[in-house]
Amino acid sequence: MLQRPPGPKPRFLIGNIPLASRDPLAVFRRWAQDYGDIFYYRAGWIHVYFLNHPDLIESVLVRNYQSSMKDRVVQNSRWFLGNGLLTSEGEHWKRQRRLSQPSFHREKIASYATVMTNYADQMLSHWQDGSVIDIHQEMMKLTLRIVLRALFNVESEETEEISEALNVMLRHSTGLRLLLPPFVRQLPLPGMFEVRRAVDGLNTHVYKIIHLRREHGSEAEDLLSTLMEARDEDGSQMNDLQLRDEVMTFLLAGHETTALALSWAWYLLGQNSRAQQELHEEVDRVLAGRAPNLSDLPSLTCAESVIKESMRLYPPAWAVARQAIRDFELGGYQIPVGANLVMSQWVMHRDARFFSDPEQFDPSRWRTEACLKLPKFAYFPFGGGPRQCVGASFAMMEAILLLATIAGRFQVHAVAGDPVEPVPSFTLRPKHGIRVALKERPGRTGSPLAQGDTTVATSALRQ
């Protein structure tokens, strides 16, 4: 009999299934407080080891990364994402990572800055003083347009349709559904017809992007052309299905998370007028009414701290998980092959051992000595080790530029009495969206479009 870490009492047969509870995030935090750095529970037949210490997380994601693979939730998402960079393993993953990486190098993402601020400007031209909007939906549409353009050179008139289909998918990726094996999607269960139709619609759009590029080519040396032109040692190239899997992966991974980082940032700023005031002061001082460009990034320290602090309290990726592929030792316990290892940003980022007054939204903490000295995995919004987010620098640059562009024109206020509820689905989504009231800042009726400045010198762009 293996000695196991402490953990909650199991119920007969079922064990514990926190994702089926009303508030899984609260359950995980309570268990972390009750049982410490590592706790164990059984979810049905799955053995789960939940890690709540930076050293243990580092051990799994970095030092012992060869002892595990992506967990069942990610494996189950293959029915939709296919075998793209997020879901693949082994040699195939290594090759795809090697191919994709150059599209995210500093010099390359520098060229996306203008796309980002131009699209933000277009969005703002539709915003009206005094109106109430769902800022989460706005950010989703904006970041989708940006990723389509930056990575695939597509100026899609179908962004709305793609966005709606992705919304359907994401709405149905919550709670127990995350654990459903792929064959269940073929059963006539409630909602499944809608989901299958959304996936079919997305496939049509994605194949259209691929076929248009095959037919007409493109001047742009973007991610799509890199993937299309790459050859294996035997001279073979990626077929349409492989390309579809990568395009789908980057569409989803590349827009929803950044949209969430921004949405939660506006949610927090909307309730914290002092922090928003500081942001406005910085934007006014640095930009003086013009759109931000890349060379402004090192001066937008307040904007960067707002994004970091928002991702601390509301991490878009609220947990990463692995499945052990061999027995190994961790924190004094033997982890058996097949066990699930869960590491939660939501829990770790609110740990009082590493963050003073952890529930408090305080962007200025990121400019203190204490934060510089944090252990690496006390704060890990982008994961870590070989499977760390390939788009981390892209996302940071995008989030800061968009935040500053919007703050230059508008004040954002919370709508009193409106419920905002984070739901731990594939990502941390607001259940009912985030409605905010807009107030146009005096004398800011539009800014000149950003120029293509490509000077890079900011911590946000250090890989």
Catalog residues that contact ligand HEM under the rule CB under 6 A. 85-86, 97, 147, 249-250, 253-254, 257-258, 261, 316-317, 320, 381-383, 387, 389-391, 394-395
Nearer to ligand HEM, 252 or 436 (CB): 252
Find the shortest distance in angstroms from Cβ 382 to ligand HEM: 5
Report the sign of the C-alpha dihedral through residues 426, 87, 42, 64, in that order: negative
- Minimum gap (Å) between residue 85 Cβ and ligand HEM: 4
E runs forming strands in 254-372:
320-324, 328-330, 333-335, 340-343
Residues making up the chain, counted from first to last: 463
Residue least distant from ligand HEM (Cβ): 391
Could you tell me if 127 and 154 are in contact, meaning their C-beta atoms sit under 8 angstroms apart?
A: no
Query: Quick one: 5 or 316, whose CB is closer to ligand HEM?
Result: 316
User: Among residues 338, 384, 392, which one has the least CA distance to residue 64?
Assistant: 384
To ligand HEM, the closest distance from the beta carbon of 313 in angstroms equals: 13
SS3 annotation, 9-73:
CCECCCECCHHHCCCHHHHHHHHHHHHCCEEEEEECCEEEEEECCHHHHHHHHHHCHHHEEECHH
What tokens were used for 189?
A: 């269960």
Minimum CB separation from ligand HEM for residue 391, in Å?
2
Give the amino acid at 332.
G
* Of the candidates 1, 160, 184, 156, the residue with the CA atom closest to the CA atom of residue 76: 184
Q: How is residue 379 annotated by DSSP?
A: S
Identity of the residue, 143 or 293, whose beta carbon is nearer to ligand HEM in the bound complex: 143
State the nearest-atom distance from the C-beta of 78 to ligand HEM, in Å.
13
- Contact (CB, 8 A) for 129 and 446: no
Measured from the CB of residue 289, what is the shortest distance to ligand HEM in angstroms?
Answer: 28
CA distance 44 to 340: 12
CB of 18 to ligand HEM, least distance (A): 19
Q: Are 439 and 129 in contact (CB under 8 A)?
A: yes
- C-beta closer to ligand HEM: residue 253 or 335: 253
Number of helices and strands (H, E) in the chain? 17, 12
192 to 80, 163, 189, 200, 430: CA distances (angstroms): 13, 18, 6, 12, 22
If the CB atoms of residues 283 and 428 are measured against ligand HEM, the closer one turns out to be 428
* Nearer to ligand HEM among residue 249 and residue 458 (C-beta): 249
User: Shortest distance, CB of residue 386 to ligand HEM, whole angstroms?
Assistant: 7
- In the complex with ligand HEM, which residue's Cβ is closer, 153 or 411? 153
Cβ closer to ligand HEM: 40 or 394? 394
Q: What's the closest the beta carbon of residue 103 comes to ligand HEM, in angstroms?
A: 8
Give the nearer residue to ligand HEM in terms of CB position, either 371 or 395: 395
CB closer to ligand HEM, 389 vs 461? 389
Residues sharing a CB contact under 8 Å with residue 78, sequence separation 6 or more, in sequence order: 87, 182
At its nearest, how many Å lie between ligand HEM and the CB of residue 187?
28
Closest contact distance (angstroms) between CB of 390 and ligand HEM is 5
**Rounded distance between C-alpha atoms, residue 378 and residue 345, angstroms:** 8
Whichever of 86 and 113 has its CB closer to ligand HEM, that residue is 86
d(CA 269, CA 361): 9
Query: CA dist 64 to 28, 324, 328, 388, Å?
Result: 24, 10, 9, 14
Q: Which residues make beta-bridge pairs with 424? A: 428
d(CA 383, CA 321): 10
